[in-house]
């Protein structure tokens, strides 16, 4: 079974630039999550999708971050404009069923450095 | 966000000894408690989980215990090996649904 795919793996940008990350969940997984993991900290949930609908985005900084999952499969996370404090690893995860009571499988992450 | 405390933040043990990591949560409605292992530069991987209807679960050298009254759950690793060295994160769901919180992590070093 193929795992969660993410691209790019690394990205370096200057502050105020824009950046986008892509995630392809495990086939058949209805729920998709985006997390931000700052160095030395645990992952922090940014947004959760159930199919193509948003379940929770309470911790997403909506003034600069946006995410979509138009066809209920792939998802993109965008930051515009980026700030220095956005430097982190952005992890995508997926789970088979609705809700958090099912195993979440993580992708390899995208390491973002904002200069 | 939800309050979760994970202790200790760093832990060094001799190979063959046991390691225990503890997490405390605040929402009495939480009912799912997984533990993830993250090696340097790699993705978090689920190593064990427990649901609120049981108090303990074991998988070979790894076990998790849950005390719902005290609102804490612990990861126990016995007969530690150097390959157990990693950062371990506890996590739990907020309420019975969808928000999922992670602890601050414990960096475990197993000394050969």
- Which pLDDT tens digit goes with each residue over B33-85? 999 999 998 999 999 999 888 899 999 999 999 998 999 999 999 999 999 99
8 Å CB contact of A103 and B46:
yes
Residues of B in contact with A104 (CB under 8 A): 34, 46, 100
> Is the pLDDT confidence value at B96 over 70?
no
B105 vs A40: CB contact, 8 Å cut-off? Answer: yes
Q: What is the rounded average pLDDT for all residues in chain A?
A: 92
Q: Answer for the pair A23, A89: CB distance below 8 angstroms, yes or no.
A: no
Judged by CB atoms closer than 8 Å, whether chains meet at B44 and A40 is answered as: no
Asked if A78 and A64 count as a contact pair (C-beta separation under 8 A), the reply is no
Chain B residues in contact with A45 by the CB 8 A cut-off are 99-101
Q: Is B15 left (phi over 0), alpha (psi -120 to 50) or beta?
A: beta
pLDDT at B32: 87
pLDDT at position A18 is: 97
Whether the CB of A46 is below 8 Å from some CB of chain B: the reply is no
How far apart are the CA of B55 and the nearest CA of chain A, in angstroms?
A: 17
Are B47 and B62 contacting, i.e. CB atoms less than 8 angstroms apart?
yes
Among B58, B105, B52, B104, CA closest to B77: B58
Tell me, what's the pLDDT at B13?
A: 97
Whether omega before B99 lies within 30 degrees of 0, making that bond cis, reads: no
């Amino acid at each position: 079974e193929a795992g969660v795919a993410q691209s790019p793996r690394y990205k370096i940008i200057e502050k105020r630039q824009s950046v986008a990350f892509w995630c392809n969940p495990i086939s058949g997984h209805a729920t998709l999550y985006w997390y931000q993991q700052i160095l030395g900290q645990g992952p922090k949930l940014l947004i959760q999708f159930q199919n193509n609908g948003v379940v929770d985005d309470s911790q997403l900084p909506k003034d600069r971050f946006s995410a979509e999952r138009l066809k209920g499969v792939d998802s993109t996370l965008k930051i515009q404009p980026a700030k220095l404090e956005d430097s982190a690893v952005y992890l995508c995860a997926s789970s088979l069923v609705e809700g958090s009571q099912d195993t979440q499988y993580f992708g390899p992450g995208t390491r973002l450095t904002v200069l | 966000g939800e309050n979760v405390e994970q202790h200790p933040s760093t832990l060094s043990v001799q190979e063959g000894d046991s390691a225990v990591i503890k997490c405390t949560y605040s929402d009495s409605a939480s009912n799912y408690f997984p533990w993830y292992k993250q090696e340097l530069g790699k993705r978090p991987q689920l190593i064990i989980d427990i649901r609120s209807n049981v108090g303990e679960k074991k998988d070979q050298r790894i076990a998790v215990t849950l005390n719902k009254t005290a609102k804490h759950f612990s990861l126990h690793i016995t007969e530690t090996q150097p390959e157990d060295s990693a950062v371990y994160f506890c996590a739990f769901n907020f309420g019975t649904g969808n928000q999922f919180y992670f602890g601050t992590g414990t960096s475990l070093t197993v000394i050969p």
